[in-house]
A and B are shown apart, each in its own frame.
Chain A
Amino acid sequence: MPLPEGLYCLMAEFDTPTDLVRAAQAARKAGYRRMDCYTPYPVEEAAEAIGFHRDEVSMVCLVGGLLGLVAMFGLETWIAVWAFPLNIAGRPYFSWPAFCIPAYEWTILYAGLSAAFGMLALNGLPKLYHPVFNAPNFRNGATSDKFFLCLEATDPKFEVAESRSFLEAQSPLSVVEVEY
């Protein structure tokens, strides 16, 4: 695959989350769809403003948890009844109350690992290179105290001069062009 070249996005920097959310709402209203916001802490309003509502992490977690439950309970049953039956104080081979405890632990283990790794996978992480890091002001603020709105060049509505004047109308601290 050839490496992408040229302009990745126009990035506007804001001082407060309120400015960012207002700009993101305006951008969505103006018809932009391929955009993203970068914030140093979770700003739910910004996600709503760019039209990102639901995520699939909960579903991944549920499926993982059920898998863990079935896996452990099935393993215990198979071991205790077929693979290695032992008479322990006259208990039945299928001692399901005792099997519940490891099955419960594995439900949590699988669900937790699914939630964590599912979140990373859905986010496309680890991804050590991303064009937004090329913005000269990005690393100075995005992970500490500044808020960024990024209009991506692949958006059908994107046009450099027009989008730049749109962003500048949102009273940002700065607007920069970000190359791949």
Chain B
Amino acid sequence: MATKDAPVTNPMIDPLTGEYRVIAPGHTFKSVTDKVSRIVLTTHTPLGWFFGFALAGGFVCMLLVAVTWLFLKGVGIWAITIPVAWGFAIINFVWWIGIGHAGTLISAILLLFKQGWRNSINRFAEAMTIFAVMCAGMFPLLHLGRPWLAYWLFPYPNSMNYWPQFRSPLMWDCFAVSTYATISVVFWYLGMIPDLATLRDRAQSKFAQFMYGMLSMGWRGSVRHWVRYETASILLAGLATPLVLSVHSVISLDFAVAFMPGWHDTIFPPFFVAGAIYSGFAMVLTLAIPIRKFYHLEDLITIRHIDNCGKVMLATGWIVGYGYAAEVFMSWYSASHWEYFMMWNRMFGPMAWSFWMLITCNIIIPQLMWLRKFRVHMGLMFIMSLVVNTGMWLERFVIVVTSLTRDFLPSSWGTYRATRWDYMTFAGTLGFFTFMFFLFIRFLPMIPMSELRLMLPGAKVREKAEPHSTGTPVPEAGD
């Protein structure tokens, strides 16, 4: 997008392209390394970190209380009952998994497209993926009622002479999500090895040297290692891309395979994937904007990143909007009485507030991001990210609740009102996510130093360098 109207005196704007720079000018290998590793290796943890960590820890305690009570009393403490047998558990599961997807998108798909700007945000976007998948994974397990039997999902020889049933989308989910979690962790850890080696070499305390030394596995930066490492990274990116698209598609099949009006839609797989990326980018902004401010990383996570995330949100938001339009159109075009009623009920029934709030949060308000001035304003973009996350949560709420409360027969209609335990569990996972994130930014390098170095002006090998005038001539082969 042309940005010619920007004042050229701003040092953050590249005069050649008129775009915001990805990294502020004047950085060297050393300054980048210092800046990122100091956050982790400092002996003076900022007071704000303790404050945020304690707050998040409080929410984790609340989660533990909610889960303990759930284990004691059973899933009846949640508002799930017939007809809404899934409720918050599936809403939160889908929402959290969706948030995770942007991390993989940034780390894998943008790597394949050679989008260099992703380098400074990919590490914490991947961390976001992992913690979001952890939060997501809790819900189906807790919802089992007997979570200690969750391992029955896996095919293993057992004394019950029983095997899982592979025609069920819930079984597909189990494999999709467990693969997604595993590959995300491996990709994240692999990407971190060179940076852990940097921390090992810069750490002052014996304990830190030992810990980072073990974690970096003796990485020494040999170019032979780098070549294999790069191949493995590209391969993992190439594998994670179809994986991430398949995971939310498989999750959408949990709905789409069922006969329920409002669920039985062929648009669901791509629609869910677009929604996932939409909410995920919103969460990246929710995290990136406060972090860059708090840790003074404005040089490394620049306005360019926020601007680009805004553009991606705008694009995916329109795909999601297309999905809503397709749902409405199909409920009319299908000429199915139940589909038609479902859509009418969604728009004007007792839960209509949730539908219109969703349209407002996901479609109407985000159009402000067309304005460049809006996209480069940190505070407004932060608020926008919260709005979109709320909207995407409401989307899952609308899909689950309005469909289940009004199915084919009026005799099986019902209503849904979440209990305090539902809210406590949800808020608890938000706290758990934040809690993990605080640990991550304190103890691991949140910006990939080795990848940032690649983007600095001195990183390229200059082909036509002048030969050195000093020293003896280079001996010829066969000397």
* A residues at B contact (CB < 8 Å): 16-18, 21-22, 26, 29-31, 36-47, 50, 52, 55, 57-58, 61, 65, 72, 75-76, 79-80, 83-84, 86, 88, 91, 95, 98-99, 101-102, 104-106, 108-109, 111-113, 115-116, 118-120, 122-123, 125-130, 132-133, 139-140, 142-145, 165-166, 168-171
Across the interface, which residues of A come within 8 angstroms of B236, CB to CB? 112, 115-116
Across the interface, which residues of B come within 8 angstroms of A125, CB to CB? 217-219, 225
Residue B113, interface by CB 8 Å: no
- In the assembled complex, the CB of A87 is this many whole angstroms from the nearest CB of chain B, namely 11
Interface residues of B in 441-479 (CB under 8 A from A): 449-451, 453-454, 458-462, 465, 467-468, 470-479
Residue B356, interface by CB 8 Å: no
* B residues at A contact (CB < 8 Å): 28-30, 33, 155, 161-168, 171-172, 175-176, 179, 182-183, 186-187, 190, 194, 197-198, 200-202, 213-214, 217-232, 235-236, 239-240, 242-243, 246, 250, 449-451, 453-454, 458-462, 465, 467-468, 470-479
Whole-angstrom distance between the alpha carbons of A75 and B163 in the complex?
10
Across the interface, which residues of A come within 8 angstroms of B477, CB to CB? 29-31
- In the assembled complex, the CB of A152 is this many whole angstroms from the nearest CB of chain B, namely 12
Q: List 6 A–B pairs whose Cβ atoms lie within 8 Å, in order of A's numbering.
A: A39-B221, A41-B459, A102-B175, A109-B179, A112-B187, A115-B239
Known: A30-B475, A88-B168, A111-B239. 11 other contacts (CB 8 A): A22-B467, A37-B223, A41-B451, A42-B227, A47-B224, A108-B240, A115-B236, A125-B225, A142-B220, A143-B198, A144-B449
Task: Point out the residue from B163, B223, B229 that lies within 8 Å of A46, measured CB to CB.
Answer: B223
- B202 near A144: Cβ-Cβ < 8 Å: yes
- A122 near B29: Cβ-Cβ < 8 Å: no
Across the interface, which residues of B come within 8 angstroms of A31, CB to CB? 477-479
- B155 near A75: Cβ-Cβ < 8 Å: yes
- In the assembled complex, the CB of B457 is this many whole angstroms from the nearest CB of chain A, namely 11
Whole-angstrom distance between the alpha carbons of A40 and B164 in the complex?
48
- A37 near B222: Cβ-Cβ < 8 Å: yes
Q: From A109, which residue of chain B is reached at the shortest CB distance?
A: B179
With A55-B228, A128-B218, A133-B220 already in contact, the answer to whether A99 and B166 are too (CB < 8 A) is: yes
Task: Point out the residue from B218, B221, B460, B461 that lies within 8 Å of A40, measured CB to CB.
Answer: B221
- In the assembled complex, the CB of B103 is this many whole angstroms from the nearest CB of chain A, namely 15
- B179 near A36: Cβ-Cβ < 8 Å: no
Whole-angstrom distance between the alpha carbons of A130 and B224 in the complex?
15
Across the interface, which residues of A come within 8 angstroms of B240, CB to CB? 108, 112
- B227 near A171: Cβ-Cβ < 8 Å: no
With A83-B163, A130-B220, A139-B201 already in contact, the answer to whether A144 and B29 are too (CB < 8 A) is: yes
Task: Point out the residue from B217, B223, B458 that lies within 8 Å of A36, measured CB to CB.
Answer: B223
Across the interface, which residues of B come within 8 angstroms of A52, CB to CB? 223-224, 227
Across the interface, which residues of B come within 8 angstroms of A126, CB to CB? 217-218
Whole-angstrom distance between the alpha carbons of A35 and B381 in the complex?
51
Task: Point out the residue from B166, B183, B202, B217 that lies within 8 Å of A98, measured CB to CB.
Answer: B166
Whole-angstrom distance between the alpha carbons of A39 and B471 in the complex?
24
- B187 near A145: Cβ-Cβ < 8 Å: no
- A101 near B201: Cβ-Cβ < 8 Å: no
With A101-B250, A125-B217 already in contact, the answer to whether A36 and B224 are too (CB < 8 A) is: yes
Task: Point out the residue from A47, A143, A171 that lies within 8 Å of B197, measured CB to CB.
Answer: A143
- A106 near B179: Cβ-Cβ < 8 Å: yes
- A42 near B230: Cβ-Cβ < 8 Å: yes
Task: Point out the residue from B172, B223, B232 that lies within 8 Å of A43, measured CB to CB.
Answer: B223
